[in-house]
Amino acid sequence: MGAYHAGSLAVQELLGVRDRADHVGRSLGQDIKPVAAAFLELQPLLVVGAADPGTGRVWASALTGAPGFVRATGPRQMSVATAGDPHPAGLPGAPLAPALRTPGTRIGTIALDPRTRRRMRLNGRLRPTARGFAVEADQVFSNCPKYIQRRESYDSVADRTPGTPRLLAELGQEQQEFVRRADTFFLATVHGGGADASHRGGNPGFVRVVSPRELTWPDYPGNAMFLTLGNLRADPRAGLLFLDWTTGDTLQLTGEAHTGFTADGGRTVRFALTAARWTPGALPLRWSAPEYSPANPDIAR
């Protein structure tokens, strides 16, 4: 099987980057190398993306734990311990809870470390375990540090209790301002053979609220693989996760996303909301203030 499916190939052809994508695609593998395994064991946060097996809606969710809760348990297997974690996917009714209990779920994961501005993605098939779940890897790769905001440290707030989640049909003023302030969000997408979770970053304001049910953001230049935009070309379902790095509040959105292309190769993604989930204090982590990436484009107001 090639590195790319038809959706990614189509976007690469459209933008004239097939040769570059073939070169970069050599970094896609199935093995978790020792440096990647060591990276995983240092992380207190893992973002996962998948489709709910009941509704078909795609969601992104954050899992947290003491470093070591995510670890490589084989050359092509990652294990995640969620048992006893009172946060995110463990919350009653959390949108990805059924997917994380369903054998064979296609799942995308991303571990992002703001301290080092490094990120690693592992996509594959899920198997529930007594302590959480394991993922048999189909794709393992790292991305460059572009658009990652550096946060030097974090601490765990032991007495932070998640608030009651609110399910929303549209974004209220509080949620709209939350999105406008964001310098980071995570994007879950799917295609016929799998799922993916990726990172998007920029200066606050890079995500625009068009209406209570519509967001847009620019697709900044990256690695030319176009895994995310390729997935959206094949299947527009998408899940977004915004988080507050200080308070632990999370905003999860599910809906459909479509990409608009300009003649000069510019790209804008337009997201239409189906449903949202707002959870105050969902994450127990409190990170230090950001140092914005020097790669972030200026935001035209």
pLDDT single digits (tens) 63-89: 999 999 999 999 999 999 987 665 555
H helix or E strand, kind and range, residue 182 = none
Tokens of residue 282, six digits: 């969902």
DSSP state of 291: B
Please state, in angstroms and rounded to a whole number, the distance separating the CA atoms of residues 275 and 268.
Answer: 21
- Which candidate, 135, 229, 224, places its Cα nearest to that of 191? 229
Q: Where are the domains of the chain?
A: 16-287
What percent of the chain clears pLDDT 90, i.e. is strictly above it?
72
Which of the following CATH numbers is that of domain 16-287: 3.60.110.10, 2.40.50.140, 2.30.110.10, 3.40.50.300?
2.30.110.10
The band of 253, judged by pLDDT with boundaries at 50, 70 and 90, is: very high
How far is CA 164 from its chain centroid?
23
Q: What are phi and psi of 93, to 5 degrees?
A: 80, 5
Helix/strand/coil for 31: coil
Mean pLDDT across 80-100: 75
Has residue 92 got a pLDDT over 60? Answer: no
Query: What's the confidence (pLDDT) of residue 102?
Result: 95
Q: What are phi and psi of 255, to 5 degrees?
A: 175, -145
Half-sphere exposure of 119 (CA within 13 A, CB side): 22
| 171 C-beta neighbours (distance < 10 Å), count | 22
| 115 C-beta neighbours (distance < 10 Å), count | 14
Q: In what order do the strands lie in the sheet with 77-81?
A: 58-64, 45-51, 106-113, 118-128, 132-143, 77-81, 70-74
Amino acid symbol at 273: L
Please state, in angstroms and rounded to a whole number, the distance separating the CA atoms of residues 60 and 108.
Answer: 9
Has residue 2 got a pLDDT over 70? Answer: no
- Which candidate, 231, 166, 186, places its Cα nearest to that of 61? 186
- Which candidate, 1, 10, 50, 48, places its Cα nearest to that of 230? 10
Query: What's the confidence (pLDDT) of residue 26?
Result: 66
Residue with tokens 């995640």: 80
The band of 113, judged by pLDDT with boundaries at 50, 70 and 90, is: very high
Mean pLDDT across 10-33: 70
Q: What are phi and psi of 63, to 5 degrees?
A: -115, 140
Please state, in angstroms and rounded to a whole number, the distance separating the CA atoms of residues 189 and 185.
Answer: 13
The band of 61, judged by pLDDT with boundaries at 50, 70 and 90, is: very high
Query: What's the confidence (pLDDT) of residue 48?
Result: 97
The band of 1, judged by pLDDT with boundaries at 50, 70 and 90, is: very low
Has residue 15 got a pLDDT over 70? Answer: no
**The length of the chain, given as a count of residues:** 301
Q: Decide: 258 and 236 in contact? Cβ < 8 Å.
A: yes
pLDDT single digits (tens) 152-174: 999 999 899 999 999 999 999 99
Mean pLDDT across 206-231: 87
Mean pLDDT across 265-269: 87
Q: Decide: 78 and 72 in contact? Cβ < 8 Å.
A: yes
Mean pLDDT across 10-28: 65
Among the residue ranges 26-30, 42-46, 115-119, 133-137, the one predicted with the least confidence is: 26-30
